[in-house]
Amino acid sequence: MAHVTQALFRDDAYLGEAAAKVVAVNDRGGIILDRTIFYATSGGQPGDTGLLRLNGGDAIAIAATITGETKDEIIHVPALGQAVPLAGDEVGLALDWPRRHLLMRMHTACHLLTVVCPFPITGASVGEDDSRIDFDIPDASFTKEEVTKRLMELVAADHPVFTRLITDEELAANPGLVKSKNVRPPNGTGKIRLVCIGENAVIDSQPCGGTHVRSTGEVGEIHIGKIEKKGRENRRFRIRFGSMPAQ
């Protein structure tokens, strides 16, 4: 039977530490908790890494976080050779916060890129150093300099980033909210989580379950490293941190 893990990161992406209880350890050594701050790999964002601290003082290094039988079951995958906790153990959770914060900045930057390039998304991947989004774009006139300039205008404006829940019916009435060409947001759960940018979501809103920073200013300096042609109408944009290197 799949467990339902309370996903604390959904309401507060800034929780770097928390306490939880071990619910089960599966036959592959994966640790399931009653609640967690560890984001599980999905939607192009990699899962979190960090530590589980046991009462006796031992710490278990978590190398990956994934979902189990259902999206609501979150499994903490220990690195090799770690102590094994028992069901019922109280544990302290600590994220590798510098890594997670980079992923939050990058993930938010990806949303900004979908504002600058309002085209159907065919793929995306968020990384600590480099993120990519593939768009179905018929015209090839975008330059990395122009896209970078418009991204940095959105960063400089320091727009708020927040979430809000809508119903399946509201989403069905606003099909334009969905930017992904192939991936549909989960339907039938009753509530869809929208990630909104700008006062009253004036800049953007789209369904997303990932972790984001509180305002676009926190994304910091980014640039488009490359725009690659992948197929006739597919363009792959790569986002990197820092200023654009001199040519």
Give me the residues that bind Zn ion (CB under 5 A), please: 195, 208, 210
Q: Which one, 10 or 230, has the nearer CB to Zn ion? A: 10
CA distances from 95 to 36, 99, 146 (A): 10, 9, 36
The answer to whether 132 and 88 are in contact (CB under 8 A) is no
Nearest to Zn ion of 91, 213 (CB atom): 213
Question: Which phi and psi angles does 162 have, rounded to 5°?
Answer: -150, 165
Instruction: Rank residues 82 and 206 by Cβ distance to Zn ion and give the closer one.
Output: 206
**Measured from the CB of residue 139, what is the shortest distance to Zn ion in angstroms?**
26
Q: Which amino acid, 175?
A: P
Q: Give whichever of 195 and 239 is closer to Zn ion, judged by the CB atom.
A: 195
Q: How many CB atoms lie within 10 A of CB 183?
A: 15
Q: Which is nearer to Zn ion, 43 or 217 (CB)?
A: 43
Backbone angles phi, psi at 116, to 5 degrees: -70, -35
Crossing angle between the packed helical segments 97-116 and 144-156, to the nearest 10 degrees: 110
What residue is closest to Zn ion based on CB? Answer: 208
Shortest approach of Zn ion to residue 121 CB, angstroms?
Answer: 11
Q: What minimum distance in Å lies between the beta carbon of 67 and Zn ion?
A: 16
Return the number of the residue (31 or 113) whose C-beta is nearest Zn ion. Answer: 113
- Quote the DSSP letter at residue 190: S
| Token output for 217 | 């200013």
Residue 205 CB, nearest distance to Zn ion (Å)? 11
Q: Which helix (H) or strand (E) holds 6?
A: strand 6-7
CA distance 141 to 97: 38
Query: Which amino acid is located at 44 in the chain?
Result: G
CB of 231 to Zn ion, least distance (A): 25
Q: Residue 45 CB, nearest distance to Zn ion (Å)?
A: 7
